[in-house]
């Protein structure tokens, strides 16, 4: 392992490494207005939601790494404590990137990047009509974490309204992640997309009465397998109890390459038969 310490590593390099480690990150495409009603639109990947009662989202328009100056977004929310967080998808990527340029105060990035301003229902800043999801927010608090270049400014917001493009919702008003076509920020100039080829489901652990047995309950011959990976073992450890293996099943599940066969079944989601093949190998 190579270790990097803040203070000993140049700040721009530490910034680059930090963003490469914590990735991918969702992008808050934030619209604000100043006290004169002039709109601003800028993307920030220091962003996430932090509660639903009340519904809270936080983003950080960090100070310029070159000049240490605050961003127009920060200045605006100090004047008008409202904003809209517009979620970026693949169709908006290059327009969003264009809007990320450090244009002088007073330049309307909606116009500069070719976006459509859509009036909000509860706040002054306009929404981005092209965004599939828009969060109207009231600013609750601003926390400045420093005054030097790269210092964060946590904008803590309460979401007062959510808007979704109807095309991304199913009959139960749940969001289809494939239709959202999410884009996420990585380190340096890298992005990634969440399309149908790389979206998958992992079921959460069940209620307390059905928690997984855990690694500490795995038999040693499984725990020390040279074939099964950490992810394989975790799936075996997610069962509520180790399946029973009957005498008749013992012969049916006996395999020469038990761990490889079990791994294939694990990848198919068939944990019960994977367990039985492994148990039969010890009989």
Residue spans per domain, the chain: 11-193, 208-280
Buried b (16+ CB within 10 A) or exposed e, 17-49: eebeeeebbbbbbbbbbbeeeebbbbbbbbbee
Weakest mean pLDDT among 17-26, 102-111, 243-252: 243-252
**Total-model pTM:** 0.86
CATH number, domain 11-193: 2.30.110.10
Residue 207's pLDDT band, with cuts at 50, 70 and 90, is low
pLDDT of 44-95, one tens digit each?
999 999 999 999 999 999 888 777 788 999 999 999 999 999 999 999 999 9
Cα–Cα distance between 180 and 114 in angstroms, integer? 20
């Amino acid at each position: 392992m190579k270790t990097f310490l803040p203070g000993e590593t140049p700040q721009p390099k530490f910034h680059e490494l930090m963003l490469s480690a914590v990735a991918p990150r969702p992008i808050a495409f934030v619209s604000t207005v100043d006290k004169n009603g002039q709109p601003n639109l800028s993307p920030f990947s220091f962003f996430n939601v932090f509660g639903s009662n009340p519904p809270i989202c936080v983003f950080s328009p960090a100070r310029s790494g070159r000049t240490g100056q605050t961003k127009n977004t920060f200045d605006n929310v100090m004047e008008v404590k409202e904003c809209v967080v517009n979620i970026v998808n693949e169709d908006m990527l290059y327009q969003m990137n264009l809007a990320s340029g450090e244009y002088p105060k007073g330049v309307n990035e909606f116009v500069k990047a070719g976006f459509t301003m859509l009036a909000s229902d509860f706040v002054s800043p306009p929404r981005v009509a092209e965004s599939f999801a828009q969060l109207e927010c009231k600013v609750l608090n601003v926390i400045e974490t420093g005054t030097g270049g790269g210092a964060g400014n946590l904008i803590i917001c309460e979401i007062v309204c959510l808007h979704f493009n109807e095309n991304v919702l199913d009959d139960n008003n749940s969001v289809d992640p494939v239709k959202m076509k999410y884009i996420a920020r990585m380190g340096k100039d890298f992005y990634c997309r969440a399309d149908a080829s790389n979206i998958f489901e992992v079921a959460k652990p069940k209620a307390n009465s059905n928690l997984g047995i855990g690694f500490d309950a795995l038999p040693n011959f499984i725990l020390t397998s040279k074939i099964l990976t950490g992810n394989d073992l975790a799936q075996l450890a997610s069962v509520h109890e180790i399946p029973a293996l009957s005498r008749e099943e013992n012969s049916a599940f006996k395999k020469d390459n038990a761990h490889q066969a079990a791994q294939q079944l694990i990848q198919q989601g068939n944990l019960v038969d994977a367990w039985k093949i492994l148990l039969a190998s010890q009989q």
